[in-house]
Amino acid sequence: MTTAEPPNGLCHRKIPSRQPDEISGRVEDHNNVQEEDRSRWQKHAQKVKVKVLQQVQDQLSDLLDKALTESVQPFTQLQPAVNGKTSKTTPSW
C-alpha cells in the first residue's frame, strides 16, 4: 500500500510581473497623494498663521491703548494745591 505524502519542496506560484506602466502609474498616484497632502497642510498652516497674527495684533493694540492711557493719566490726575487742597488739573495742549 502506498500513501500519498504531501510534497516537501517549494511551490512556485505564478504571479504576473508588473509592467513598467503599472509601476510608474502607482508612483504617480503616490506622488499626487503626497502633493495633495502638502497642499492641504500649507492651506491649514496659512489659516493658523492668519489667526495667530490677528491675535497678536489684537493684544498689541490693547497694550498700546493701555500704555497711551497710562501715559496721559499723570496729566489728568488730581494734583495737590499749595494750600493742601487737591484740585483737578488738565493739560493745556
pLDDT for the residue numbered 77: 67
Residue 26 lies in a domain: no
**What's the sign of the alpha-carbon dihedral 29, 31, 32, 38?**
positive
pLDDT band at 74 (very low <50, low <70, confident <90, very high): confident
Residue 25 lies in a domain: no
Residue 79 lies in a domain: no
> Which range marks the domain in which residue 62 is found?
48-73
Q: Which residues of 47-76 are buried (b: 16+ CB within 10 A; e: fewer)?
A: eeeeeeeeeeeeeeeeeeeeeeeeeeeeee
Work out the angle at residue 70's Cα, subtended by the Cα atoms of residues 68 and 76, and round it to the nearest 5 degrees: 105
pLDDT for the residue numbered 42: 98
pLDDT for the residue numbered 29: 80
- pLDDT (tens digit per residue) in 18-55: 666 666 667 678 788 899 999 999 999 999 999 999 99
* Domains of the chain: total: 1
d(CA 25, CA 86): 87
